[in-house]
Amino acid sequence: MKFVIRAGGIGTRLWPLSRQNRPKQFHALTGEHTMLQEAVNRLNSLAKIDDLYVSTGVKLLHSVREQLPELPPENTILEPTLRNTGPAVGLECALLEARFPGCTIASLGSDHHIGKPEEFCRLLKVAADAIEDRPETLFVLGVKPTRADTGFGYIQKGNVSAKVNNEPVYAVESFTEKPDAETAKTYLESGQYLWNSNMFVWKARTMLDLFAKFEPEMYILLEQIGTAVKEGREADVITKVYPQMKNIAIDHAIIERASDIATLQADIDWSDIGAWGALTDVLPVDENGNLLHGNVLSLNAKNTTVYGGKDKIIALVDIENLIVVDTGDALLIVPRDGSQRVKDVVAALDERSDSERYL
């Protein structure tokens, strides 16, 4: 099995820490290591370094090499421009299928917290074993929800279609993207829904065949890349054809349209830390529900998350339910329940003439 860690995203909802030149996966949010380094470290028991790949944008290559010096240079998959997860997944499948015909790929995120790495690796092994008997199946890791969260996609479980290594494999009935609060509550109470972790195991050839079926224009470009690998000129061809691909998420391009999808129910202490409010999922809070990072003075603050540095004191007086992030050149203050709106700040900044300073 080949392991691809997708590290090309920007993480706009974690602005102002996450920026275009240093997105959230290159920061140490939950421990001593960056999220990218943690994504690699948690695979140590399962993956040899030669079987591990990092997919990222050309502009972020220096950060990958700086943080993962042990990664062989040929094990970086470079996107000349960011075109969403659909083209990124297509690219990794085209390259690896051309190099290793018939290979299985675990396509994983670089910016998730997983508190139970051993269980995570066990489930990846289950999926890899299952796919040998079911090469046409796409496997997705689903996470048992702990709350009615509107920031995640959901997977509706079907019947148990098989047991592999004593682990139930569920058919997938449907996908729902970020439901409203009432629907999310219904999903949680039903016990029939899982959070979509966007971590997958599949045969590269199967995915390419699905691109041919559902996204034929993209497939033609991916085939050009695969052919170029065999001729040793993939870098030039990728630079030429990749920007022509449709900007589309892999969920919309393939996953939600495929008929043969299965899920494993993962209890792995997972969070995608997609917004500032999610930090309290993985980091401890004080007796007043505060998460205070940096030089913070708290006087009667409650349920507030602060992320700052050591050189500037942040004083909190008689406040509650806020998020405060100070990066020196930018200050963010937002209600805790509005942390998803940080992406709107980024969109608004993008229209300003001085946007490069802050993005």
Residue range 110-136: mean pLDDT, rounded: 95
**pLDDT at residue 158, rounded to an integer:** 93
Determine the straight-line distance between the first and last CA of the chain, rounded to whole angstroms. Answer: 37
Joined together, the tokens standing for residue 77 give 């998959």
**pLDDT at residue 357, rounded to an integer:** 85
Tell me how many domains the chain contains: 2
The residue among 274, 299, 321 that closes a domain is: 274
**pLDDT at residue 313, rounded to an integer:** 96
340, pLDDT greater than 90 = no
Percentage, residues of the chain above pLDDT 90? 82
Same domain, 191 and 289: no
Same domain, 232 and 268: yes
Mean pLDDT of the chain: 94
Q: 39: closest CA among 101, 90, 111? A: 111
CB 11 within 8 A of CB 25: yes
The answer for 293, left when phi > 0, alpha when psi is -120 to 50, beta otherwise, is: beta
**Biggest alpha carbon–alpha carbon distance for the chain:** 66
Q: Is 185 helix (H, G, I), strand (E, B) or coil?
A: helix
Scan for tokens 């691109």, then name that residue.
Answer: 211
pLDDT digits (tens, 9 = 90+) for 30-60: 888 999 999 999 999 999 999 999 999 999 9
Same domain, 247 and 298: no
Q: Which band of pLDDT confidence, cut at 50, 70 and 90, is reported for residue 149?
A: confident
CB 199 within 8 A of CB 84: no
Percentage, residues of the chain above pLDDT 70? 100
Give the Cα separation of 327 and 308 in Å (integer): 6
Same domain, 143 and 252: yes
Same domain, 185 and 228: yes
Q: How far is CA 178 from CA 144, 153, 156, 185, 277, in A?
A: 15, 5, 13, 12, 16
Joined together, the tokens standing for residue 284 give 């401890």
Q: How far is CA 73 from CA 122, 319, 326, 346, in A?
A: 28, 49, 35, 32
Give the Cα separation of 354 and 135 in Å (integer): 50
Residue range 54-73: mean pLDDT, rounded: 96
**pLDDT at residue 273, rounded to an integer:** 86
76, pLDDT greater than 90 = yes
Backbone angles phi, psi at 31, to 5 degrees: -175, -155
Same domain, 193 and 315: no
The residue among 253, 274, 295 that closes a domain is: 274
**pLDDT at residue 286, rounded to an integer:** 94
Enclosing H/E stretch for 67: helix 61-67
Same domain, 256 and 323: no
pLDDT digits (tens, 9 = 90+) for 301-337: 999 999 999 999 999 999 999 999 999 999 999 999 8
Same domain, 335 and 238: no
Same domain, 28 and 98: yes
The residue among 251, 274, 297 that closes a domain is: 274
Same domain, 263 and 303: no
**pLDDT at residue 171, rounded to an integer:** 95
Give the Cα separation of 89 and 80 in Å (integer): 14
**pLDDT at residue 212, rounded to an integer:** 98
What domain range is 26 assigned to? 2-274
pLDDT digits (tens, 9 = 90+) for 174-219: 999 889 889 999 999 999 999 999 999 999 999 999 999 999 999 9
- CATH assignment at residue 82: 3.90.550.10
Question: ω into residue 101 within 30 of 0, thus cis?
Answer: no
Same domain, 262 and 291: no
Same domain, 83 and 146: yes
Enclosing H/E stretch for 171: strand 167-177
